[in-house]
Homo-oligomer: A and B are copies of this chain.
Amino acid sequence: MSDSSLTTVGIDFGGTSVKLGVCRAGELLHTDAPITTGDFHGPAALITEMAARVAKLREIYPDIAAIGVGVPGLVDFEHGFVHVLTNVPGWKHVPLKAILSEKTGLPVVVENDANAMAYAEFRYGAGRGLNNIVALTMGTGIGGGLILNGQMYRGVGCAAGEIGQMSIDADGKSGHYGNLGALEKYVGNKEIAEHAMQRYAEAHVTKTLEECTPKRIADAAKAGDDIARQIWEEIADWLGTALASIAWLLNPDAFIIGGGVAQAGNLIFDPLQRKVQSMLSTVVWERLQILPAKYSNEAGIIGNASLAADAV
């Protein structure tokens, strides 16, 4: 980490929209109107628009010193090369860092989105001051990012942190890659909804999938619905099994959990704490924190801007 007080641009590139912001020392100084990803066909047009946005931001913030871009897919961090973005047509083998840097004249870093979120929590969020952090983002899938020995940990192919693919049952449900027991087949938003529908059906209560989102199940549990409370206990059992395994392996300072499931608050964090504690030794448990993420929508912008500030 070098000069984290630099003013930098963070770009959070998602399948639907590209969000841009200007940050300094983890503070979001300015948020730009998002770019609609689908309005720009192919990488060249979209990168040109990103560069145009950055040029306008520099009129307001002439001290902008670098750009960090987070993308929803596999990147080569060292070269700022995007291998492939499954949910964005045309994004395959794109030298994003080289092109954006050439167009703007600024240093550029390119990171995976889950890693950027983990970095935001590490530098300025719930994990500030901690050296070993496992961050999870829970939604349709379960993403993750790792800070180990006070550094971003990416693995040999920049593919580390795929917590949703870890197995919680050697004979369990098949994941996207044929991986039996994949965690996200138990605690992904869709799978939670399907499981909840089934639990209600067993109790002769008919609910639609839309009535079984994490938010709706949380609302029901808060209103005293015993079935909903039991569903949160089950989610905690599955998620807690995976977190305990990670804790045995990495003996981290903290898990930091963001996304829809985390918004259930104590409904998930209380049984999760109990489950994880029940699976660990005192030594591993006593220094472990299980925390909600500080950031939500702005995590990508702040994380990418911070990565850029620390890299130059």
A214 to chain B, nearest CB (A): 20
By a CB distance below 8 angstroms, the chain B residues around A287 are 156-157
B131 lies within 8 A of A156 (CB): yes
A1 to chain B, nearest CB (A): 15
By a CB distance below 8 angstroms, the chain B residues around A169 are 168-171, 181
**Which one, A36-44, A48-56, A224-232, A274-282, is touching chain B?**
A274-282
**A245 within 8 Å of B (CB atoms):** yes
Q: How far is the CA of A156 from the CA of B167 in the complex (A)?
A: 24
**A47 within 8 Å of B (CB atoms):** no
**A154 within 8 Å of B (CB atoms):** yes
Q: Known contacts A238-B170, A245-B167: does B280 contact A156 (CB below 8 Å)? A: no
**A310 within 8 Å of B (CB atoms):** no
A178 lies within 8 A of B284 (CB): no
Q: Known contacts A166-B245, A167-B168: does B160 contact A250 (CB below 8 Å)? A: yes
**A246 within 8 Å of B (CB atoms):** yes
By a CB distance below 8 angstroms, the chain B residues around A248 are 162-163, 165-166, 179
- Of B158, B162, B172, which contacts A249 at CB under 8 A? B162
B170 lies within 8 A of A284 (CB): no
B241 lies within 8 A of A157 (CB): no
**A194 within 8 Å of B (CB atoms):** no
Can you report 21 A-B residue pairs in the complex whose CB atoms are below 8 A from each other? Answer: A132-B156, A146-B249, A146-B250, A148-B148, A155-B251, A155-B252, A156-B251, A157-B283, A157-B284, A158-B251, A160-B250, A161-B249, A162-B249, A165-B245, A166-B248, A166-B249, A167-B244, A168-B169, A169-B181, A177-B279, A181-B241
Assuming A159-B251, A167-B241, A169-B181, what are 17 further A-B pairs, CB within 8 angstroms?
Answer: A132-B155, A146-B250, A149-B149, A156-B252, A157-B284, A157-B287, A160-B249, A161-B249, A162-B248, A165-B281, A167-B279, A168-B169, A169-B170, A170-B238, A177-B281, A180-B279, A245-B245
